[in-house]
Amino acid sequence: MSRKPLSRVLLVEDDPDVQVVASMALSELGGLVVEVCGSAPEALRTAPVFQPDLILMDVMMPGMDGIAALEALRKDPRLAATPVVFMTARAQSHEVARYRELGSLGVITKPFEPESLAETLRGLWEGRDV
């Protein structure tokens, strides 16, 4: 399973308030190093520099949505192996299944529980196929 513990997370979220809350939940409560991007194109530019262990990304974003961003990430050899976890309004089980098929590591439902957000990501990180 995993060799190194989860430490760097790139958060991709268009809503500024959710950005603050989610990044605080991950860093202040969860002890992770977090970088925030407000859009998918920004994330595609930032990720190769920041080199996250995992990307936590909103699905519904204006312009390029999370699904398109995931496809773009998978085409970039530097980022193809970086796990992506989606954040979304509650999805039906077949939608979750579709996100998995597209190659996401997991789905986190909004609103999330701030105390356990980092823990949930760590669980997905530990449980991933390497």
Determine, following the binding rule CB under 8 A, whether residue 41 of this chain makes contact with another protein: no
Determine, following the binding rule CB under 8 A, whether residue 3 of this chain makes contact with another protein: no
CA 14 – CA 126 distance, rounded (Å) = 27
Two tokens at 89? 């309004």
Cα angle 84-73-12, degrees, rounded to a multiple of 5: 55
- Which of 60, 63, 75, 100 contacts another protein by CB under 8 A? 60
Query: Interface with another protein by CB under 8 A: which range of 37-45, 73-81, 92-100, 120-128?
Result: 92-100
Torsion from C-alpha of 41, 47, 49, 53, nearest 10 degrees: 170
Cβ(40)–Cβ(66) below 8 Å = yes
Determine, following the binding rule CB under 8 A, whether residue 29 of this chain makes contact with another protein: yes
Least distance in Å: CB of 74 to another protein? 25
The type of residue at 51 is Q
- Which of 81, 93, 101, 130 contacts another protein by CB under 8 A? 93
Summarize as ranges the residues that interact with another protein (CB under 8 A). Answer: 15, 17-18, 20-22, 24-25, 28-29, 60, 89-90, 92-94, 110-115
